[in-house]
Amino acid sequence: MSLKTNPLNDAQLSALSQLVEGLNKEQTVWLNGYFEGRLAALGGVDVPAVTGTTVSTAAAAPPPQSSIKLTILYGTETGHSQGLAEKLGEKASFKGIDARVLSLYDYNYKKLNEEDNVAIIVSTHGEGDPPDMAEDFYKYVTGPRAPQLNGVNYSVLALGDKTYKHFCKTGEEIDVALKSCGAYRVTPAVKCDVDYEQPSETWMNLFLLNLSPAETPEPVVTSAPTAPASSSAGGFGEEFSKSNPYMATVLEKVRITGDDSDKEVYHVELSLEGSGLEYEPGDSLGIFTKNPEALVGDILAFTGFDAEQKVDVGEEEMSIKEALSHHLEITMLTFDLLKKYQEKTKNAELAKLLVDDEALDEYLYGHDVLDLLEDFPYDWNAHKLVEVLRPIPPRLYSISSSMESVGEEVHVTVSVVRYERKNRKRNGACSSHLADSIEIDEQIPVYIDKNPSFKLPANGSKIIMVGAGTGVAPYRAFMQHRESLGIKGESWLFFGDRRFNSDFLYQTEWQKLLKNEILTKIDVAFSRDQEEKVYVQHKLKEQQKEVFDWLENGAHFYLCGDMKYMAKDVNKALLDIIQTQGGVREEQAEKYVKNLKREKRFQIDVY
């Protein structure tokens, strides 16, 4: 069956995609089984028996091969798009499809018109920008010299964060551009928020289903006996993940900023013993949390809701108090929430705010759901309010330990969010929960969030590490790892914070690493210790000749910290250094930095 004569048109595919996105896990499995059964009926294929949600091959027979070729392209900042691209590649290979997976750095986009089938998995970075590795591809397909793509079949999976106004903008624009170039959209584009696992799985299955002709044989599968899920950690057959977090025991919790510091930072150590969880330096720890009790109480008091009134959250029924405490995001606002709120309330002032980018940014920063209810009043009931609030996402913390050093433990460095606005004290959901409510020997639900885009060089090359505040956390993991492997020297840390006496995180550890020649150099910037503020970018420029020499001799450059200010300032400083020391123009310096990123010698972990 030719894809060009697919009996489902775009409208039908869009409707089917929307239907599938709304299904829960069990319903999705049932629908998958239904389609497999239909294909079997049409093509004489053995029908898989599905019980529960697990299927496995009955034998180690290789999958049948088809003539279908698929190129899977990804553009990423944090590595999530890469992980999904590799997963799609495995699924395609299992179906006998000849699939290759490439980053948009490595793909010759001028040969796009020669492809048969293309899947593009791409994130949106910051305020609607493509990730660095996708920038050239994005400009090519959306620009005036875009190619004619008649005969190319494609689909797009867009990743983003509804916190931002231009959620999934890069993926959306690539999807529209490919369609306008004449390519055939096999499956409608899917946009994913931070909880991307289920919608991405649905997109993959639907895309491969539409890509594969019905007569292509499927491997015979039978239901596999599954061990009962153990309630104890590390039970036989239990695999811990974001959808099935591990209850990690707190081994240590120590405040590592001084009493006179205006910042509250904790070093937290957790046990992973028996979990089977593994991580590498550069990965993050996802922590599931609860909302501050005071904020929940204030929202209930303001709305007048009965705390025990039942509401539906997803597939579960619970009290509104339980929903606000454990399941719904109330400490942070997102553009998506404000948009839904305005659609429900028709509030004219909120409508004005949504189109004023500067005022919108200011309002989103530091306000919470109670502010929204107070500032834009509406006669809410509990059910309607729950409908506009998004699920509370787990918080991600850069891991500050190496398993080579600490074994079945994981360490994180947590800066507690506390501030006051409109005469009301505010607290970060996860950071304050860890600081105020969780004690040693108690347990918290966690999972490992892999980040293949922030990794040590395998060959022990020179590294320059730039971080401010808790942005130093992954570098502690880097140094632990190198020390455990016996790799000495060739490492340089630039660290910044407010005051030397109270905010020098892990000071004694850095001094020991210097003494033992694991760390070669350290340059520090404490902004409040003198009248004129000094930041890490200033220290980089002070050492610019040697920094450039390190880069010219193969050093890898790492940047971890605040995206909005610190990361931008460091990026600008690096460009200035390359221009000055390399004797080149701004355009050439930008090309130099882009090449560092292409070679994975400039890696960024920002938040």
User: Does 279 carry a binding-site annotation?
Assistant: no
Same domain? For 362 and 483 the reply is: no
User: Does 384 carry a binding-site annotation?
Assistant: no
Residue 233 lies in a domain: no
Rounded to whole angstroms, the Cα distance separating 185 from 179 reads 7
User: Does 123 carry a binding-site annotation?
Assistant: yes
Same domain? For 432 and 382 the reply is: no
Of 388, 416, 433, which residue sits at a domain end?
388
User: Does 544 carry a binding-site annotation?
Assistant: no
For residue 5, the model assigns a pLDDT of 42
For residue 489, the model assigns a pLDDT of 82
User: Does 161 carry a binding-site annotation?
Assistant: yes
User: Does 592 carry a binding-site annotation?
Assistant: no
Same domain? For 410 and 554 the reply is: no
Tokens 């020391």 sit on residue = 581
Same domain? For 263 and 115 the reply is: no
Same domain? For 36 and 131 the reply is: yes
User: Does 267 carry a binding-site annotation?
Assistant: no
Same domain? For 427 and 380 the reply is: no
For residue 77, the model assigns a pLDDT of 82
User: Does 78 carry a binding-site annotation?
Assistant: no
Domain of 567, CATH number, reads: 3.40.50.80
Same domain? For 377 and 398 the reply is: no
CA distances from 354 to 164, 360, 369 (A): 12, 6, 16
Q: Bridge-partner residues for 124, per DSSP?
A: none
For residue 60, the model assigns a pLDDT of 43
User: Does 415 carry a binding-site annotation?
Assistant: yes
For residue 355, the model assigns a pLDDT of 92
User: Does 34 carry a binding-site annotation?
Assistant: no
Q: 118 is written with which tokens?
A: 């293309």
User: Does 226 carry a binding-site annotation?
Assistant: no
Same domain? For 297 and 440 the reply is: no
Burial class of 75 by CB neighbour count within 10 A (0 to 12, 13 to 18, 19+):
buried
Domain of 331, CATH number, reads: 1.20.990.10
Tokens 């720890």 sit on residue = 285
Residue 455 lies in a domain: no
Residue 110 lies in a domain: yes
CB 574 within 8 A of CB 558: no
Residue 308 lies in a domain: yes
For residue 8, the model assigns a pLDDT of 55
Same domain? For 598 and 487 the reply is: yes
User: Does 212 carry a binding-site annotation?
Assistant: no
Which residue type does 529 have? D
User: Does 527 carry a binding-site annotation?
Assistant: yes
User: Does 166 carry a binding-site annotation?
Assistant: yes
For residue 66, the model assigns a pLDDT of 65
User: Does 397 carry a binding-site annotation?
Assistant: yes
Same domain? For 42 and 183 the reply is: yes
Which residues make Cβ contacts (< 8 Å) with residue 295, sequence separation at least 6?
Answer: 330, 331, 368, 369, 370, 426, 427
User: Does 534 carry a binding-site annotation?
Assistant: yes
Same domain? For 194 and 92 the reply is: yes
Q: 300 is written with which tokens?
A: 């209930």
Residue 510 lies in a domain: yes
Rounded to whole angstroms, the Cα distance separating 508 from 274 reads 31
Which range of residues forms the domain containing residue 140? 3-223
Q: What is the DSSP letter of 471?
A: G
For residue 63, the model assigns a pLDDT of 55
User: Does 164 carry a binding-site annotation?
Assistant: yes
Of 341, 370, 388, which residue sits at a domain end?
388
The structural domain count of the chain equals 4
For residue 26, the model assigns a pLDDT of 47
Q: Bridge-partner residues for 468, per DSSP?
A: 496
User: Does 74 carry a binding-site annotation?
Assistant: no
User: Does 126 carry a binding-site annotation?
Assistant: yes
Domain of 177, CATH number, reads: 3.40.50.360
Residue 254 lies in a domain: yes
User: Does 310 carry a binding-site annotation?
Assistant: no
Same domain? For 66 and 184 the reply is: yes
Q: What is the DSSP letter of 567?
A: I
User: Does 170 carry a binding-site annotation?
Assistant: no
For residue 22, the model assigns a pLDDT of 58
For residue 31, the model assigns a pLDDT of 56
User: Does 331 carry a binding-site annotation?
Assistant: yes
Rounded to whole angstroms, the Cα distance separating 463 from 491 reads 5
For residue 195, the model assigns a pLDDT of 82
Q: What is the pTM of this model?
A: 0.82
User: Does 419 carry a binding-site annotation?
Assistant: yes
Q: Bridge-partner residues for 119, per DSSP?
A: 72, 155
For residue 19, the model assigns a pLDDT of 59
User: Does 160 carry a binding-site annotation?
Assistant: yes
Tally of helices (H runs) and strands (E runs) in the chain: 22, 23
Dihedral (C-alpha) 273, 288, 447, 228: value to the nearest 10 degrees?
A: 70
Residue 231 lies in a domain: no
Residue 219 lies in a domain: yes
For residue 9, the model assigns a pLDDT of 55
User: Does 396 carry a binding-site annotation?
Assistant: yes
Pick out the chain residues at pLDDT < 50.
1-6, 25-26, 29-30, 33-34, 36-61, 214-236
